[in-house]
Structure 1
């Protein structure tokens, strides 16, 4: 089983990403459970705007798309900006829109795969970010297990970032580890069930 975590931070390397730090907790638990796990920062790649898998010369989404297809578990990791998912997360979801019509045999390519969300921000909005991303992933064909997410925020108003404080890390990390376990359990169940559509 493979898992892919797409870190949709707005920060380019080498800037430190709070979202990546919390994603690392989930990645560590997935690896502990025997899942081959890769964590990629989307801003390391050049993505063209659009809703097709390949937007032509210079577009590096096809490379990420191939990794998304290989993974039975996908985690979208996004910071909260203006109470919403990052623009990078939105762009990834728009590019994934093409997967709705792509098939693996008779089935859409996301069929039988599971997905979840990691979210960080120093203000409120995490539940909105989670619901926006999960709604899009369901449309694309992913199964969202119960409590397949974790988040951290400091509360209303400007404040410290995830890596600047230890405030409530215990809750976010515990929730992240449980999200990993739920994702693996449901992914394994879907793989063993081998559901198929009636044609």
Structure 2
């Protein structure tokens, strides 16, 4: 059995409900988190709406006119995690406003470099969990996973899962009789996603991160071109 005991995972719940209100998204998060915990992964959770996260695309928005911004402290927890799972509900067929804000603030730190001169999110893996009672799981997951890979996260196969009830108003994931927690399709996909996140994180951490060559911003800025040739000058 692979040893995952040195891995750390962070789930950011982008529900619109403040604690202690029940979050259906949290119910699905718990399915995935329990698998990780059973395998020794240190798991932590953030419910983003409980925090004063300023709007913007700078690392610390108090430097840009905001009186309060808790994101810099949350960003430290992001950087301490090998695995990041963004989870949230579907509203009007799209990700929640809270999810959009979290992705914007992750993007704000995407220009930071690690010790190897790569973008700082390199060597970490990302996934997505979606809940709702209307269509849109794939659309929401596509946006999340594209955003994560764009800023440097590695995305394993089957890196998303979700649950929706019947189209239109109806029970949410944790509501009695919804069928959500018993749904085999959702449980299978959530389990596969969780294991694939752990496997890829294990591979990357054992390798010392994402391979270094051809992707170092610091070297590109210093003039190295990694075999690039401008066809205009051939």
Query: Which range, TM-score by smaller chain?
Result: over 0.9
Q: Structure 1 CA distance, aligned partners of 2:170 and 2:141?
A: 21
Tell me the CA shift for residue 169 of structure 1. Answer: 2.7
Match of 2:29 in 1: 23
- The count of corresponding residues between Structure 1 and Structure 2 is 199
Q: Which has the larger radius of gyration?
A: 2
Q: Structure 1 CA distance, aligned partners of 2:43 and 2:186?
A: 20
Unaligned runs of 5+ in 2: 1-6, 220-234
- CA-to-partner distance for each residue in 1:174-197, whole Å, 9 max, x for gaps? 221221110010111112223113
1:11 and 2:27 matched: no
Q: Secondary structure at the match of 1:27?
A: helix
Tell me the CA shift for residue 82 of structure 1. Answer: 0.5
Whether contact under 8 Å (1:107, 1:197) holds in the other structure is no
After superposition, the CA RMSD in angstroms is 1.2
Q: What is the TM-score of this pair, normalised by structure 1? A: 0.96
Q: Structure 2 CA distance, aligned partners of 1:82 and 1:170?
A: 26
Unaligned runs of 5+ in 1: none
1:61 and 2:61 matched: no
Whether contact under 8 Å (1:99, 1:108) holds in the other structure is no
- CA-to-partner distance for each residue in 1:61-89, whole Å, 9 max, x for gaps? 01110000000100000100011011000
Match of 1:166 in 2: 179
**Bigger relative contact order (CA 8 A; separation at least 6):** 1
Tell me the CA shift for residue 119 of structure 1. Answer: 0.3
- CA-to-partner distance for each residue in 1:29-75, whole Å, 9 max, x for gaps? 11112110012100110011000111114100011100000001000
* Stretch of structure 1 that moved more, 4-13 or 101-110: 101-110
Tell me the CA shift for residue 172 of structure 1. Answer: 1.4
Q: What is the TM-score of this pair, normalised by structure 2? A: 0.82
Q: Structure 2 CA distance, aligned partners of 1:28 and 1:170?
A: 17
Q: Structure 1 CA distance, aligned partners of 2:74 and 2:138?
A: 26
Q: Structure 1 CA distance, aligned partners of 2:183 and 2:72?
A: 35
| Higher helix proportion | 1
1:196 and 2:209 matched: no
Q: Which runs of 4+ in 1 moved over 4 A?
A: none
